Amino acid sequence: MKTSKSLIWLCALVGLLALVASVTGLFWKDGGARFTFTTLNGQEAQMYGEGLYRNDTVFTAGAFLGTDAVTILACIPFMIAALLFYRRGSLRGGFLLLGVLSFFLYNSASLAFGAAYNQFFLFYIALFAASLFAFILAFTGIDYHNLPTRIMSGMPHRGLAVFFLVTGVVLALIWLSDVVVALVEGHAPVLVASYTTMVTYVLDIGVIVPALLVTQHLIRRRSPLGYPLACTLLVLCTIIGVVVSAQTAVQISLGVVLPPAQLAVMVGSFILMGVFAIWLLVLLLRNTIDRSALS
């Protein structure tokens, strides 16, 4: 099969930028100390006060640090492996590459739009741009006309459709409940803290939820477009399950108090989604004939 050299080079750039940003975020210690900041909404927020995330809240800095660890230990090696299979003409490799690129795109958008301004702002922009165009190249490089011939009869269409529908609804309820309650009570959501908005709400409610619902519709109709979207979202859900676990562990180690209800509903939901996503991802890949469907 023909592979895109531009995509390979962009993936290499994504990996390099992500590695530098994550290593710096995780290991840069400058001896700073935590401090209290009064937000525009009149709330007092505890700021991390150290390293690259010094001007982020302790809660958000813990999330970034957990994500950095998973990026270094899991996501970059995952992308390298997927890229090697992609170079050999593997359709499964191409699907997996789409999935891991969706994580880098999601995370770089979170950093570029959501992290407090720091010395790596231009790095975040470069990582976001490289991830975006790599994802576009990988997605548009699929031969959708011939893709149905690579799908086996055992593909779990119903299971995939149900998973995407339920996940989309649950994800919407998790974040909308937080936003709607705050709107009704006349204050900003607690997680906004020192920020002007929460980029996670925008990405999850505005992009991920619609993508999940559209994908379940395409899978039910056996549309060729649904299979790469399904693999992309399954990989993303799997990685997010691991990321949320790491984020929570770091936040707790930093002294963030997470109520049991929040651990059960928010953290537990993402971990459970990740477990089901792994199972369905394996089934999807097993029922995909690993021959070239990429141009």
**Rounded to 5°, angle at Cα 181 from 177 and 186:** 150
For the stretch 117-151, pLDDT in tens is 999 999 999 999 999 999 999 999 998 988 999 99
Decide: 60 and 265 in contact? Cβ < 8 Å.
Answer: no
Domain ranges of the chain: 5-286
pLDDT at 157: 96
Could you read off the pLDDT tens digit of each residue along the chain, which spans 295 residues?
568 899 999 999 999 999 999 999 999 988 888 888 888 777 888 999 999 999 999 999 999 999 999 999 999 999 999 999 999 989 999 999 999 999 999 999 999 999 999 999 999 999 999 999 999 999 999 989 889 999 999 999 999 999 999 999 999 998 898 889 888 888 888 778 888 888 999 999 999 999 999 999 999 999 999 999 999 999 999 999 999 999 999 999 999 888 887 788 778 889 999 999 999 999 999 999 986 544 4
Model confidence, pTM: 0.93
pLDDT at 16: 97
pLDDT at 105: 97
DSSP states of the chain as a string? ----HHHHHHHHHHHHHHHHHHHHHHH-------EEEE-TTS-EEEE--SGGGTTSBHHHHHHHHHHHHHIIIIIHHHHHHHHHHHHTT-HHHHHHHHHHHHHHHHHHHHHHHHSPP-TTHHHHHHHHHHHHHHHHHHHHTB-TTTGGGGB-TT--HHHHHHHHHHHHHHHHHHHHHHHHHHHHHTS--GGGTTSSS-HHHHHIIIIIHHHHHHHHHHHHTT-TTHHHHHHHHHHHHHHHHHHHHHHHHHHHHTT----HHHIIIIIHHHHHHHHHHHHHHHHHHHTB--S--B-
Burial of 295 (0-12, 13-18, 19+ CB in 10 A): middle
pLDDT at 290: 83
For the stretch 34-71, pLDDT in tens is 888 888 777 888 999 999 999 999 999 999 999 999 99
Mean pLDDT, the chain, whole residue set: 92
